[in-house]
Structure 1
Amino acid sequence: MQESKFSFHLYGSEIFGCHVEPKVVTGVVVLVHGFGEHSGRYKAAVIPILTDLGLGVVTYDNIGHGKSGGKRGHCPSYEALLDILATVIDKAKELHPKKPLFLYGHSMGGNLVLNYALRRKEDFAGIIATSPYLRLAFKPPKWKMFLGKMLLKVLPSVTLPSGLDANGISRNPEEVTKYQNDSMIYDAVSPMYSFPVMDAGEWALANAHTLNCEALLLHGTRDQIIDHTATIEFHQKASNTTLKLYEGGYHELHHDLCKEAMLEDIHKWLKERI
């Protein structure tokens, strides 16, 4: 197993990336993390499942996250997030030309990979979206929404506490503690990061019927952060998706009590398509 790092400059920031390559490569996955976290949190559970299938894995820390540059919790625009993802996809193609290319996104990463496929119409071997951020599972206070929309017009880069309860990520208290003690996790978000992502989730739901590649959608039924019924809605509107629901599962399924079953479902779905 070989691991190498890379970086590139875009939108005035240096974006950190990493590539893990098995001895025999059957395909490649671009993995996109969720909001406030970083790509390193997928090394223990998710990446070994992918490399076991002979898949090279290309990860990156999004702008304003992890080891990448940019103001913490802020991005220039939603299009910037898609452009950064496009650059990483090009890197994956450069590393593994003519190999099947999959996208894997969690939470906000799920929002990005689904929107990327819907908007830019590239040919992918498949998409995996875990707990995709299509709609919040709770309603933020009205005053916070009003203030955020005002700030989006006048101070789009100012960051405010996200209000995320770390206990909602997993039923495993050890995973919650790891999350809370991770110095690279950031719990604040700018209006430019939050509102365009919310809008993109609704746009994806409205346009799910135009998805032109296969997708595996996975969600826990007790996700207190992202609404699992929105994932069901996306599945019902699309014609080529597979839906896996995990009874009682929390937001980070790959860190939850059901992670073995969830990772086995991903392994099986990918194996059938390589």
Structure 2
Amino acid sequence: MELIEHKFQYKNIPIYGWHVQPKEVAGIAVLVHGLGEHSERYLSDVVPRLLDCNLVVFSYDNFGHGKSGGKRGHCPDYDALLQLLDNIIAKARMHFPNNPVFLYGHSLGGNLVLNYALRFRSDLAGIIATSPYLRLAFEPPKWKMIIGRALLRFWPSFTMSSGLDPEDLSRIATEVIKYKQDPLVHDKVSPMFTFPIQEAGDWAIDNAHKLRTHVLLIHGTGDNVIDYRGTERFYKNSKRAELRLIEGGYHELHKDVGCNDTLNMIGVWINMQMESVAV
């Protein structure tokens, strides 16, 4: 697997990106990672499965994440997150024109790809959203919410701990250890990377009926980070979405018990969409 790196720029913020190409290119997958992590965490599991579907995979580290610039855990605003995704999609299409485009988003990435499909006019072949960040599975302390709201107005770049417990990511102990030892992972989050995301999640649920793109939603019922019932609500509000609930599954289903079955499920769905595009 040869990783070809790209250097992007968004309003003077350097953005790290890359793509991996199969032997035969039948389509494009743009992959968007979750909060606090980075794109290269998907190279060992998700990316190989997408390559098996003959999809060239483009990905990037979001603002304040991984090898990209910006304060850790902070972004300019929600619109910038969507605009950056749009720029990456355009770059992928420029490199591999006339190919169907899929979006793959996990957690925060799931929030972004779903909102992108609802807010941007773009011809997409399909969307995969795993554990999409639509609603939190826990209630943050009231004091933290009050302070955060005030900081959003007066000091939006102030960061504090996200409170994420790595043990909630996977039931596989070695995966939790890898996460904890990854030097590019952080638990920082700013008000700008918190409240607009939550509001966009609620907005996406309420506007899911406007979806024009076929979507595969996958969520674990044992997810203690993001509430699978928010994903269920999105599914029930849309005629274009399919939902697969993984009984007892944790947040990172691609690194959890039964991950091979989950990845195979995604591969089968993509191949079905590719067949419909080819007709």
TM-score by length of 1: 0.99
Provide the residue aligned with 1:217 in structure 2.
217
Provide the residue aligned with 1:174 in structure 2.
174
Whole-angstrom distance in 2 between the partners of 1:143 and 1:245: 33
SS of equivalent residue, structure 1 residue 272: helix
Amino acid corresponding to residue 183 of structure 2 in structure 1: S
Provide the residue aligned with 1:85 in structure 2.
85
Whole-angstrom distance in 2 between the partners of 1:56 and 1:171: 30
Whole-angstrom distance in 2 between the partners of 1:21 and 1:208: 32
Deviation of 1:53 (Å): 1.3
Whole-angstrom distance in 1 between the partners of 2:37 and 2:168: 14
What CA deviation, in whole Å up to 9, does each residue of 1:206-225 have, x standing for no partner? 10000001000000001000
Provide the residue aligned with 2:205 in structure 1.
205
Amino acid corresponding to residue 126 of structure 1 in structure 2: G
Whole-angstrom distance in 2 between the partners of 1:225 and 1:206: 21
What CA deviation, in whole Å up to 9, does each residue of 1:162-218 have, x standing for no partner? 000110000011100100000100111000111100100000001000000100000
Provide the residue aligned with 2:31 in structure 1.
31
Whole-angstrom distance in 1 between the partners of 2:146 and 2:53: 47
Amino acid corresponding to residue 132 of structure 1 in structure 2: P
For structure 1, the 5+ residue unaligned runs are none
Instruction: Indicate yes or no: 2:244 matched with 1:247.
Output: no
Check conservation: 1:222, 1:248, Cα contact below 8 A.
Answer: yes
Amino acid corresponding to residue 129 of structure 2 in structure 1: A
Deviation of 1:7 (Å): 1.1
TM-score by length of 2: 0.97
Deviation of 1:3 (Å): 2.5
Whole-angstrom distance in 2 between the partners of 1:154 and 1:186: 24
Provide the residue aligned with 1:21 in structure 2.
21
Provide the residue aligned with 1:48 in structure 2.
48
Whole-angstrom distance in 2 between the partners of 1:35 and 1:11: 21
SS of equivalent residue, structure 1 residue 273: helix
What CA deviation, in whole Å up to 9, does each residue of 1:50-91 have, x standing for no partner? 101111000100010000000000001000000110110001
Provide the residue aligned with 2:104 in structure 1.
104
SS of equivalent residue, structure 1 residue 164: coil
Deviation of 1:11 (Å): 2.6
Whole-angstrom distance in 2 between the partners of 1:220 and 1:20: 28
Whole-angstrom distance in 2 between the partners of 1:233 and 1:138: 17
Whole-angstrom distance in 2 between the partners of 1:232 and 1:72: 31
Whole-angstrom distance in 2 between the partners of 1:53 and 1:204: 28
In the TM superposition, 1:44-193 aligns within 5 A as 44-193=44-193
Whole-angstrom distance in 2 between the partners of 1:40 and 1:56: 15
Whole-angstrom distance in 1 between the partners of 2:14 and 2:203: 29
Amino acid corresponding to residue 138 of structure 2 in structure 1: F
Q: % of aligned pairs identical? A: 54
Paired positions, count: 274
Whole-angstrom distance in 2 between the partners of 1:106 and 1:182: 18
Whole-angstrom distance in 2 between the partners of 1:12 and 1:140: 33
Whole-angstrom distance in 2 between the partners of 1:20 and 1:223: 30
SS of equivalent residue, structure 2 residue 15: strand
For structure 2, the 5+ residue unaligned runs are 275-279
Provide the residue aligned with 2:277 in structure 1.
none
Whole-angstrom distance in 2 between the partners of 1:239 and 1:202: 18
Whole-angstrom distance in 1 between the partners of 2:146 and 2:239: 37
Whole-angstrom distance in 2 between the partners of 1:37 and 1:3: 19
Amino acid corresponding to residue 123 of structure 2 in structure 1: D
Whole-angstrom distance in 2 between the partners of 1:121 and 1:203: 17
Instruction: Indicate yes or no: 2:264 matched with 1:259.
Output: no
Amino acid corresponding to residue 217 of structure 1 in structure 2: L
Q: Which consecutive segments of 4 or more residues in structure 1 shift more than 3 A?
A: none
Check conservation: 1:11, 1:76, Cα contact below 8 A.
Answer: no
